[in-house]
Amino acid sequence: MVLLKTRSVAKLIPRWEEQYRMNPRNNSPVVKLKPTVAAVKKPPLFDWGTLLTGISRGRSDLEYGVQRNIFMQGQAADSVFFLLRGKVQLSVTSSEGKEAIVATLGSGEFFGEGCLAGQPLRMATATSVEDCTLSRVEKATMVRMLHEQPGVAEIFVTHLLDRNIRYEADLVDQLFNSSEKRLARILLLLSHFTEQSQTETVAAGINQENLAQMVGTTRSRISHFMNGFRKRGFIEYESGSVLTVQRGLLSVVQQD
């Protein structure tokens, strides 16, 4: 029997509260979305690393250096990856050659799981942002484990739903928030800011061009906002150095 370790984590994620007011024309309620930020304490995390280590066939551990492609958009989707250490960036490229960053994942997250839903080809490119250690599990092995262990399957689905909620929050953020507020939120997420955090660092390798793609604006606008954050003491960084996020940056996300 595999013994599983657990650890608690609290992440800051945005929420959208419904506020109602009456339309003076027809006295009907009108919904107004108001962004808020809350530190949501999540249940103890399942130790997938320990569980996957117990798989003898159909699994391999891989090491990747900085800026290495783990898989490419359009390649055969035949396996699931679990990030044991490091950070991985998912990006998509249009037929016109335009590239957009979809997500930046940290340790303890799965990616490439689309193959389990019948996805024949990779929909995105996965690139290591820093030195990474991964577990690669073949599709057939992962499917068999989920079928034979319903408890594990339930936790896996919960893991995916939790990430989908985050993606939905990203979409709402993109639709309703200003570029400055979107940048602040992304910096908080990339630094894994928690309820107890005072300062956190963003992984090396995330540059202003990456941030511009994530926010959906130009690099010059990102530079303008970053300089403003630094002047207000919300972040600390020098060219080529590690970016440190201060707790004061929360005020940008929380403001109406």
DSSP for 108-177, please give it. T-EE-GGGGGT--B-SSEEEESS-EEEEEEEHHHHHHHHHH-HHHHHHHHHHHHHHHHHHHHHHHHHHHS
Ranked by mean pLDDT, the top range of 42-56, 105-119, 182-196, 235-249 is: 105-119
> In degrees, to the nearest 5, what angle opens at C-alpha 137 toward C-alphas 64 and 154?
125
The CATH code that applies to domain 9-44+177-254 is: 1.10.10.10
**Ranges of each domain in the chain:** 9-44+177-254, 48-162
Give the model's pLDDT for residue 45. Answer: 60
Contacts of 256 (CB under 8 A, 6+ apart): 34, 35
* Confidence tier at 204 by pLDDT (50, 70, 90): low
Give the model's pLDDT for residue 34. Answer: 46
Contacts of 10 (CB under 8 A, 6+ apart): 39, 40, 41, 42, 194, 195, 196
Handedness of CA 247, 253, 254, 256 (dihedral sign): positive
**Could you give the CA distance from residue 37 to residue 15 in angstroms, rounded to a whole number?**
6
Q: Which of 52, 59, 57, 81 is nearest to 69 (CA)?
A: 81
Contacts of 239 (CB under 8 A, 6+ apart): none
Give the model's pLDDT for residue 5. Answer: 33
Give the model's pLDDT for residue 128. Answer: 94
Amino acid type, 128: S
**Residue 24 pLDDT > 60, yes or no?**
no
Give the model's pLDDT for residue 192. Answer: 78
pTM: 0.63
The CATH code that applies to domain 48-162 is: 2.60.120.10
